[in-house]
Amino acid sequence: MNRPAIRAENLRKRYGDTVAVDDLSLRVEQGEVLGILGTNGAGKTTTVELIAGLRAPDGGRVTVMGLDPWRDRAAVRRILGVQLQESQLHDALTVAELVDLYRSFYPSPRPRDELLELVELAKQRDTRFSRLSGGQAQRLSIALALAGRPRVVILDELTTGLDPRARRRMWATVEQLTEETVVLVSHAMDEVERLCDRVALVRAGRVAALGTPAELVRRAGAADLDEAFLVLTGERLGEPDDEDEEAA
Amino acid sequence: MTAHTAATPVRSPARPGVRSWLLLAVCEAKMVIRDTAGLIVPFGLPLLILVMSASSASEAVVTGGRTALDIYVIPLVFTMVIGLIGIVNTPSFLSAYRRTGVLRRLGATPASPVMVLVAQVAVGVAQSLLGIAVAFGVAVAFFGARPPIDVPAALGALVLTVAVMFALGMVVAAVAPTPNSAVAMGLVAYLGLGALGGMFGGKESLPEGVARVGEWLPFGAAVDALSSAWAGEGVAGPHAAVLAATAVAAAVVAAVFFRWE
């Protein structure tokens, strides 16, 4: 078997007294689409940031295609494309300008027109970022994540805040990523079920369960993935962790 | 060592090349140009001051055929342009980039956020030079302004002024937590230094002690250095030293405190 695209072993990260990622281990095979599913505050985004080398872990180890994203930062960034949650772009630049700028960062980028067609933004090429709709901005951020022909793509909360039609278009785009290894962070069951080969259920900074959607449903003796999530993590989706809220 | 074996890794640059740096600078320039409101203040305000004081100042010959316009007004206007762009405008852009996650997103590409910093400063400096050129052009064309007697000294003073103003701006960008606070801190620093350096009605109107202090602060020292160059007196060593030392100190402080997010 090939080496894994991503391997995380006993990853830990804390911010002050808050433990964001606590002994998280994960293996993502090349070419697969892995979903990371969890409530808000479960540590999904921190996990992504550790994989992308945007933060250094406090403990444990992570590799992307065998490289350490923190120490071999430059090498990892050439093979990794990310779409980050809540990250904006230069708002006065147009779609085409942004795509060209991001393409210029990589040694052998995808052609601009190919990228724009892939995410259906050819018509908006001269539209400034600040004037794009939420769905268009998200699609642009996918195009930028794919600009450098990455081997591994991380998509963080891809469809959060989009209307049902825009969500389906995003899914269609992700379904075209057949060459790449994709890590899809989400808290939407239907999305993960439709797009992912395997799903990691994350709770309190750990992987609570990992398997294909069907396996997880079977293991939990549940009717669907939604119920399996509840059984396997003891949590309800779409709500933040309330544990430390107003305890007194 | 054989040059071409199967194990030789594909030779491609680890970091984006010159073309990418230039493209980023062009993008930053577009950001500045498309922020029309942001252009009015650094170009318009100094021009206004120039026009308001030029006609009277252009009559009064001070020394060596240079008028008060050449020796006092032009150095002041130049310092104002560079200070506004360096201390107020550039940090507000960087701070907004940090707040909105632009720097974070770039940090996930092979482009280091340092590229953004360099591109921003390059664009800011270009903008300053353009502002100066416009102001000087207007002064020459309409008010008979004359070039400095000591041109090399003037260029040296200009370089030091740019260095000190942009280094101070980087301190603002480094410590300001939000874009609004960056503008506030930049304006306070700029107006404070400017007031002590004679921006409002000249040093003569300041109390003796205050004027003394202001002369050794970046704004006052920059105006004095440019003024001396225009009058052909060379740049006073202590002024140049103050500017250079402040620029270096500010750059170090900015580098220590800068955060990408």
> pLDDT per residue over A70-129, tens digit each?
888 889 999 999 998 877 899 999 999 999 999 999 999 999 999 999 888 999 999 999
Q: Classify residue B10: in a domain, yes or no.
A: no
Query: Does B209 or A35 have the greater pLDDT score?
Result: A35
**Least confident interval from A196-205, B27-36, B64-73, B116-125:** B64-73
- B18 lies within 8 A of chain A by CB: no
Q: Classify residue B15: in a domain, yes or no.
A: no
- State whether the Cα torsion A79-A83-A88-A94 is positive or negative: positive
- pLDDT for B5 equals 39
3-state secondary structure of A133: coil
Strands A6-15 and A18-28: antiparallel
Is residue B9 pLDDT above 50, yes or no? no
**Which residues in chain B have Cβ-Cβ distances shorter than 8 Å to A104?**
16, 19-20, 23-24
Question: What whole-number percentage of chain B has pLDDT above 70?
Answer: 95
Residues B19 and A113: beta-carbon distance below 8 Å: no
Q: Residue A29 and residue A181: Cα distance in Å, rounded?
A: 7
Considering only the beta carbons, identify the residue of B19, B31, B100 that sits closest to A88: B100
What pTM does this model have? 0.85
Mean pLDDT of all residues belonging to chain B:
86
- State whether the Cα torsion A80-A57-A13-A105 is positive or negative: negative
Q: Classify residue B56: in a domain, yes or no.
A: yes
- B11 lies within 8 A of chain A by CB: no
Number of cross-chain residue pairs from A and B with Cβ atoms under 8 Å apart = 72
Is residue B149 pLDDT above 60, yes or no? yes
Interface touch A92/B35, C-beta < 8 Å: yes
Distance from CA of B151 to the nearest CA of A (A): 39
For testing the chain B interface, which of A93, A94, A101 should be mutated: the one with the most B CBs within 10 Å?
A: A101
Is residue B198 pLDDT above 90, yes or no? no
Residues B232 and B149: beta-carbon distance below 8 Å: yes
For tokens 């994960």, what's the residue?
A26
Distance from CA of A54 to the nearest CA of B (A): 7
Q: Residue B112 and residue A96: Cα distance in Å, rounded?
A: 21
| Nearest of B140, B31, B40 to residue B84 by alpha carbon | B40
Is residue B245 pLDDT above 60, yes or no? yes
Per-residue pLDDT tens listing for chain A (248 residues): 578 999 999 999 998 888 889 989 999 999 999 999 988 888 888 999 899 988 999 999 999 999 999 888 889 999 999 998 877 899 999 999 999 999 999 999 999 999 999 888 999 999 999 999 988 998 999 999 999 999 999 999 888 878 888 889 889 989 988 889 999 998 888 899 999 999 999 988 889 999 999 999 998 888 888 888 888 887 665 554 444 444 33
Question: What whole-number percentage of chain A has pLDDT above 70?
Answer: 94
Q: Classify residue B147: in a domain, yes or no.
A: yes
Provide ipTM, 2 decimals: 0.84
Q: Classify residue B200: in a domain, yes or no.
A: yes
Residues B71 and B230: beta-carbon distance below 8 Å: yes
- A82 lies within 8 A of chain B by CB: yes
- pLDDT for B7 equals 40
Interface touch B31/A90, C-beta < 8 Å: yes
- A148 lies within 8 A of chain B by CB: yes
- pLDDT for A246 equals 40
Q: Classify residue B106: in a domain, yes or no.
A: yes
Residues A194 and A173: beta-carbon distance below 8 Å: no
Chain B residues 82-101 with a CB less than 8 Å from chain A: 97, 100-101
Strands B61-63 and B66-67: antiparallel
- pLDDT for B36 equals 79
- A164 lies within 8 A of chain B by CB: no
Q: Residue A209 and residue A177: Cα distance in Å, rounded?
A: 25
Is residue B86 pLDDT above 60, yes or no? yes
**What domain range is B117 assigned to?**
20-257
Considering only the beta carbons, identify the residue of A87, A88, A97 that sits closest to B27: A97
Chain B residue at shortest CA distance from A87: B101
Task: For A94, list phi and psi in degrees, rounded to 5.
Answer: -85, 165
Q: Classify residue B4: in a domain, yes or no.
A: no
- State whether the Cα torsion B68-B73-B74-B76 is positive or negative: positive
What pairs with residue A11 in β-bridges?
Answer: A24
Domain count, chain B: 1
- pLDDT for A145 equals 94
Interface touch B27/A93, C-beta < 8 Å: yes
**Which residues in chain B have Cβ-Cβ distances shorter than 8 Å to A144?**
105
Is residue B1 pLDDT above 60, yes or no? no
Domains and CATH numbers, chain A: 6-233 (3.40.50.300)
| Nearest of A46, A97, A54 to residue A73 by alpha carbon | A54
3-state secondary structure of A4: coil
Is residue B63 pLDDT above 70, yes or no? yes
CA dihedral B250, B255, B260, B261 (to 10 degrees): -60
Structure tokens at B227: 């003024």
- State whether the Cα torsion A135-A138-A140-A142 is positive or negative: negative
Distance from CA of B96 to the nearest CA of A (A): 10
- B108 lies within 8 A of chain A by CB: yes
Structure tokens at A27: 């293996």
| The 3-state secondary structure of chain B, one letter per residue | CCCCCCCCCCCCCCCCCHHHHHHHHHHHHHHHHHCHHHHHHHHHHHHHHHHHHHHHHCCCEEECCEEHHHHHHHHHHHHHHHHHHHHHHHHHHHHHHHHHCHHHHHHCCCCCHHHHHHHHHHHHHHHHHHHHHHHHHHHHHHHCCCCCCCHHHHHHHHHHHHHHHHHHHHHHHHHCCCHHHHHHHHHHHHHHHHHHCCCCCCHHHCCHHHHHHHHCCHHHHHHHHHHHHHHCCCCCHHHHHHHHHHHHHHHHHHHHHCCCC
**Which residues in chain B have Cβ-Cβ distances shorter than 8 Å to A100?**
23
Is residue B203 pLDDT above 80, yes or no? no
- pLDDT for A95 equals 97
Q: Write the pLDDT tens digit of every residue in B98-146.
A: 888 888 888 889 987 778 888 999 999 999 999 999 999 999 998 888 8
User: DSSP class of residue A3?
Assistant: P
